Every structure is written in C-alpha cells, then in structure tokens.
Amino acid sequence: MANARDALLDAALAALTHRPWSAIRMADLAASARVSRQTLYNEFGSKEGLARALVRREADAYLQDVRRLLAAPAPPERNVVAVAEWIVSRAATRPILRALLTGAWSERLPEPRPARPGARPAPVPAQRRADAGPPAPGELVEQTAACAGERWAPVCELVVRLALSHVVAPAPPVSGQCAEPESWSPMTPAITRLIETILSVETTSPRKTMP
C-alpha cells in the first residue's frame, strides 16, 4: 500500500509544522491520511517505526535531488556549486534534512534511532530499510560526494562541507542579531564566490590532485 504509506508520511510531516513529535498522535495521522489505524500500524509497526520511515524518506529524497542536480547539462563545477546552494536553501526549510546533515536533532523532531537489536523484521520491505536507521551526517556527506562520480567526488565533498558550515553558522541578518533556525538565510554570494574560486584553483592546478 505505497499510496497509504506516502499519505501517512505526508500527514506526519505536515503535523510537524504545528506540533512537536511527542504531541503527534497516531490516530490523528490516520484520520488525516484517511486510512485506518490498523493500516498505519501494518505499515510502520509503531510510532518509532513511523519516525524512522519519515527520516529515511527525507534522506532518500535529498540524495535523489542531489543526483538530479549533478546530472544537469552544465559544466560539472557549475553543477557542484548548484548542489551547495541547493543544500543551504533546502536545509533552511526542511528541519529533518537540516538535522540529518548536521546531527543537531531538536526535541520537536522524531528521534532517528534504529530498531532495537533482535526485533522482529518488519513485514514491509520499505520499513525494514527504514528500521536500519538513517545515515549519520558524515555518511550522508560521503553519499552526496559519491553522486558526483569518482572524478568529482573530492571536490563535491569539499564544497558540501563548506555549504554545511553555512547551514550550521549562517550569516546574521542585517540587524546584526542571530537568526532563528526557521529564518536562516540562503547562502550568501560571498560563499558562492569562495566555492567557485576553490573550484577554479583546484581544476587548473598543475598538481592534478583534484579534478
């Protein structure tokens, strides 16, 4: 029941915009998705299983979009910069993705804990994958870099880490006050120029240690 599963995950994600995870009730999610509570438990097993599935879907969607950006018909270095800019803007509006990339999980979000050892495997294949737990931030960075291919992976990893530094410590607003997480600004032109400069230096270096 892929459609029911997606509907329930969508309902959970929408609920997180208004309430912390601890305050979200499974019965409310089932009603919002217009499925029975039994269907919900058949798909996810428990609220913890739903949390794992929600985080896993966010990681999968992120990597799918990274691959799409890197496959664009443009110079590879331009595509790598586009990925960095996209990560910053996406992380500003997707709290689960921001937590996946930085490891900074707040009390409002579902806890990304794998299923307990020895637990009975879930009957739904997608849930078995989710129950293994999400990738750690370092693993997700490596997976992102791998999407660029062997030649461009080192450059992509460097650029992604620069983008994540902006996610963790964004530029303050004009007033000089620290911005709240929900209002983090997009990557500044200065950061974009820095990344482009690094790419220019590395791609023209006679040492050939980078593409």
Each residue's pLDDT tens digit, 115-173 = 888 888 999 999 999 999 889 999 999 999 999 999 999 989 999 998 998 888 766 65
Angle at which helices 137-146 and 95-102 cross, to 10°: 100
Residue 160, token pair as written in the block: 């992604």
Which has more pLDDT, 182 or 142? 142
Q: What is the pTM of this model?
A: 0.82
Residue 114, token pair as written in the block: 């794998």
Q: Ramachandran region of residue 133, left (φ > 0), alpha (ψ -120 to 50) or beta?
A: left
Letter for the amino acid at 208? K
Nearest to 60 by CA among 123, 118, 122, 5: 5
Angle at which helices 95-102 and 47-70 cross, to 10°: 80
Q: Does residue 31 lie within any of the structural domains?
A: no
Residue 62, token pair as written in the block: 């992120």
Confidence of residue 178 (pLDDT cuts 50, 70, 90): very low
Full DSSP string of 140-192 = HHHHHHHTTHHHHHHHHHHHHHHHHHHHHSPPPPTTSPPPPGGGPPPPPHHHH
Task: Find the angle CA(67)-CA(209)-CA(69) to the nearest 5 degrees.
Answer: 15
Q: Does residue 49 lie within any of the structural domains?
A: yes
Q: Does residue 24 lie within any of the structural domains?
A: no
Q: What is the pLDDT of residue 49?
A: 95
Q: What is the pLDDT of residue 169?
A: 79
The percentage of residues in the chain with a pLDDT greater than 70, rounded to a whole number, is: 80
Q: Does residue 30 lie within any of the structural domains?
A: no
Q: How many residues does the chain have?
A: 211
Q: Does residue 194 lie within any of the structural domains?
A: yes
The percentage of residues in the chain with a pLDDT greater than 90, rounded to a whole number, is: 60
Domain that holds residue 156: 45-204
Q: Is 170:93 a contact under the CB 8 Å cutoff? A: no
Q: Does residue 199 lie within any of the structural domains?
A: yes
Q: What is the 8-class DSSP label of residue 133?
A: -
Alpha-carbon distance of 174 to 177, in angstroms, equals 8
Residue 164, token pair as written in the block: 């994540």
* Residue 71 three-state SS: coil
Q: Does residue 34 lie within any of the structural domains?
A: no
Q: Does residue 3 lie within any of the structural domains?
A: no
Mean pLDDT within 195-211 = 55
How many domains does the chain contain in total?
A: 1
Alpha-carbon distance of 50 to 22, in angstroms, equals 13
Long-range contacts of 187-191, Cβ-Cβ distance < 8 Å, separation of 24 or more = 187/84, 187/85, 187/88, 187/89, 187/163, 191/84, 191/162, 191/163, 191/166
